[in-house]
Structure 1
Amino acid sequence: MRLGLDFDIHKLEAEKLRKGKKKAEEDLDSLKTDYKKLRLSIRATGLGKTSKQWRQEIKEERTKADK
């Protein structure tokens, strides 16, 4: 009888762990999707430039302003 109860407890714990793992995987997939969307938005708005690109753009804008 005791072994049967131990088995049931372990079975329930394993099921709980599987559900937790599945939820964590879904959350990770959601975060990956959100990250990809964010990166695309950053690129689309031009914010994803390197420091060198920003310096070049600032230099060009200053040159235009001086003229």
Structure 2
Amino acid sequence: MKRSTVGSITTPKYIEWWSKRINDNIPGPSQGDSQPTGKYLQVVPSELEIIRQDFERITSDLEKKIEQVEEEKINLRLNMDVQKLEIEKLRK
């Protein structure tokens, strides 16, 4: 692009505009007005991500239930052992 000036016609406004000019006349963002774009952008999870999260939640729930059942199983075995000992004592 040719740049020509006639005498000292360039004004401070023009010099400021020229310094901000990027990519053939498209002004760049000004530093004072810019706000974080994260404020305006929202990440929307994909369908696959939603399914994965549901799967992980269900798996976690099932693992907790398995732990509870195993504890109950251990408690029942202990109760059974105690009852066997009591029966043996009664027989003697």
Measured against the shorter chain, the TM-score band is 0.5 to 0.7
Find the counterpart in structure 1 of residue 90 from structure 2.
45
Q: Distance in 2 between matches of 1:5 and 1:30?
A: 38
State the structure with bigger RCO (CA 8 A, min sep 6), 1 or 2: 1
Does residue 18 of structure 1 match 2:63? yes
Q: Distance in 1 between matches of 2:53 and 2:78?
A: 38
What 5-or-longer segments of structure 2 have no aligned partner?
Answer: 1-45
- Structure number with bigger Rg: 2
User: Which has a greater percent of strand?
Assistant: 2
Aligned length: 47
Moved over 4 A (4+): none
Identity over aligned residues, as a percent? 17
User: Which has a greater percent of helix?
Assistant: 1
What 5-or-longer segments of structure 1 have no aligned partner?
Answer: 48-67
RMSD: 1.2
Per the normalisation by structure 1, the TM-score is 0.67
Q: Distance in 2 between matches of 1:46 and 1:11?
A: 52
Cα deviation, residue 36, structure 1: 0.1
Find the counterpart in structure 1 of residue 79 from structure 2.
34
